[in-house]
Amino acid sequence: MTAVLADRADPVGTPYDVEAIRRDFAVLSREVNGKPLVYLDSASSSHKPRQVLDAERQFVEQHYSNVHRGVHTLSQEATDAYEQARATVAAFIGARHDDVVFTKNVTESINLLAYSFGNAAPGSRFALGPGDEVVVTEMEHHSNLVPWQMLCQRTGATLKWFGLTDDGRLDLQAGVITERTKVVAFIHQSNLLGTVNDVAEIVRRAKQVGALTVLDAAQSVPHMPVDVTALDVDFLAFTGHKLLAPSGVGVLWGRGELLADLPPFMGGGSMIEVVEMATSTYAPPPERFEAGTPVISQAVALAAACDYLSAVGLDNVAAHEAALTARLLDGLRRIDGVRVIGPDSMDMRGSAVSFVVEGVHPHDVGQSLDDIGIAVRVGHHCAAPVVKRYGVPATTRASSYLYNTAAEIDVLLDGIEHVKRFWA
């Protein structure tokens, strides 16, 4: 069903052919405000290659029907495609087929967990109450912060967090994770700072006290090889739209034995076994967590996106982005009045680079860059506590992906000089 890229993808050892990749993304050849588009906002949402759009279109035109419901041919083909998509996505992160739950996005994945924990019977390993603690970090995206605040408010549990160092790293001080900690939820790669966190160390501390670990992998799964077994976390969430797939489909992965014990979040069709007027019993995972008609064609498209990235190679993507990020950091260092918010070295860092231009508000930086065709994100990036921590109202963020070029980084650097002159 998904396009084969063997004719185009680069075998290990040959140069990365970014121009060939760019030809798969039609939008990259358009102009904005009379200038070639320079899209450096993939941490917010990525563009979609022709192969992903073709896979979704072919599925809808030839095989579409509701899934898990009918006996007719289309129903069977659609169900097969949906479950094949689950298998592809599972393989992409080194997971078992039945441990992958399709959701709407990371926000829904985390809420699913937080509400399911809240629905757990007293005494269950998921149940929380007064005296229990949930640990997050100060660099969480709101999607991995607010659901835990709400769970703590509902259950009387206490929310604690690891703070940040001045250079944009987690301050993994002792005493945050304690014997009372039940859940440790943290971001793999910060969408604002670009920091890649030490998953192994945090998991080690969580395991010492028997706490469950939840990893927000929204910014890591699209950009680097991620294997849930190697990471050794209990739950992991990511979203399709940052990974070359359409918006509307996300993933929650959980350890099979945990998902098996976890009560449902939403009730309705598809998630049931036996329904009577007074009570119902629930299907095993993953269906237990997919109430209602799921996102069908978007899941198929997500699998095609995983295939596309696998064909290019996540190692190659990561190496390409690292070269672009190093070039950007180096260039920013040479511009007076520019301050990077986040790690200023390539050690344990991804491609999201936040910065402030002295004396120019990020909204004005972003608007002036848009005037010359450059798309960056401005604001608090759904991580308001982080900008507050670094004493700025907002930042400008440039984030690259597999389709960006060194020349585009140079256009951005020139653009920042232009912004400085305009606002001088």
Catalytic residue, chosen from 382, 384, 392, 406, is 382
One residue of 27, 292, 367, 407 binding other proteins per CB under 8 A: 367
Supply 222's token pair.
């699209």
Query: CA of 377: how far to CAs of 40, 43, 45, 117, 355, in Å?
Result: 8, 9, 10, 34, 11
Q: Which stretch binds other proteins (CB under 8 A): 66-74, 216-224, 299-307, 368-376?
A: 368-376
Residue 339 in contact with other proteins, rule: CB under 8 A: no
Residue 297 in contact with other proteins, rule: CB under 8 A: no
CB of 225 to other proteins, least distance (A): 34
> 33: alpha, beta or left, given left = phi > 0 and alpha = psi -120 to 50?
left
Residue 418 in contact with other proteins, rule: CB under 8 A: yes
382 noted as active-site residue: yes
Q: Give residues with Cβ within 8 angstroms of 412, minimum separation 6.
A: 38, 40, 328, 369, 374, 376, 398
Residue 372 in contact with other proteins, rule: CB under 8 A: yes
- Cβ-based nearer residue to other proteins, 8 or 418: 418
373-412 footprint of other proteins as x/- string (CB under 8 A): -----xxx---x--x-----xx------------------
Residue 368 in contact with other proteins, rule: CB under 8 A: yes
CB of 357 to other proteins, least distance (A): 12
Contact criterion met (CB below 8 Å) for 245 and 301:
yes
- Cβ-based nearer residue to other proteins, 160 or 389: 389
Contact criterion met (CB below 8 Å) for 400 and 42:
yes
Q: Give residues with Cβ within 8 angstroms of 163, minimum separation 6.
A: 138, 170, 171, 173, 389
Distance (Å, whole) CA 129 – CA 13: 54
Residue 138 in contact with other proteins, rule: CB under 8 A: no
For the chain, how big is the Rg over CA atoms in Å? 22
Q: Which stretch binds other proteins (CB under 8 A): 144-152, 244-252, 291-299, 371-379?
A: 371-379
Residue 336 in contact with other proteins, rule: CB under 8 A: no
CB of 361 to other proteins, least distance (A): 4
Contact criterion met (CB below 8 Å) for 147 and 114:
yes
Please, which of residues 262-291 interact with other proteins by CB under 8 A? none
347-366 footprint of other proteins as x/- string (CB under 8 A): --------------xxxx--
- Cβ-based nearer residue to other proteins, 285 or 342: 342
Enumerate binding residues for other proteins (CB under 8 A). 361-364, 367-368, 371-372, 378-380, 384, 387, 393-394, 418, 421-422, 424
State the catalytic residues: 382
